[in-house]
Amino acid sequence: MKKTNKLYFQKTNIITCLLTCIVFISSSVSAAITEDDCSTRKIQIMKPEYPYTTFQGYSIVSYAINNDGSVSNIKVAESNCAVSRDDDGSINFKPCPFFKKVSVDAAKYLKFLPPKDSNDSACIIKKHTHRYTYRFYEGLLQDKNQFLLRDEANLILDQEFKSNEERMAFVEKVLNNQL
């Protein structure tokens, strides 16, 4: 692998991780969240800090959305690490603890518009979930739910592509186990 590619990649990952630790993403264009007759929209989400691990994966947290738009009763419903890839290209996950604490910490900063029912009265959403994804190699993937395993990323970084389209076609072949 070219040393400059690895150094650039490592520097990019470090900068991304640092920014991720402090960046808040606010959006008023999120999809409506509805439970029974109670509806709201997410207006703030904090990207979690990447935990001290070499694993990639995801966690799902569940929580209640209070009548003021804050969250409570935050619990980890699922936490999984990407461990291998099947012949069909799908990732195999196994339960792991690495993403639990940072996901709960980030979920504490979730904010919603105050939930309202169809009569415009305040209400509470008792159980909602959010998935936090933890992955390296962000710049090589287009889908936020895709993962590249370390050997796959090294294979990609060892190549010399003439264009971004050529690189993306190669990444797709790697993701679909077509090499």
Evaluate whether 101 touches 84 at the Cβ level (below 8 Å).
no
Spans of all domains in the chain: 3-136
Asked if residue 177 has pLDDT above 50, the reply is: yes
Q: What is the mean pLDDT of residues 168-173?
A: 89
If DSSP codes are grouped into helix, strand and coil, which group holds residue 98?
A: coil
pLDDT tens for each residue of 101-146: 999 999 999 999 999 999 999 999 999 999 999 998 877 888 878 8
> At which residue do the structure tokens 């050529």 appear?
166
Architecture of domain 3-136 in this structure: 2-Layer Sandwich (3.30)
Residue 14's pLDDT is what?
46
Measure the CA–CA gap between 101 and 87, rounded to whole angstroms. Answer: 32
pLDDT tens digit sequence for 58-74: 999 999 999 999 999 99
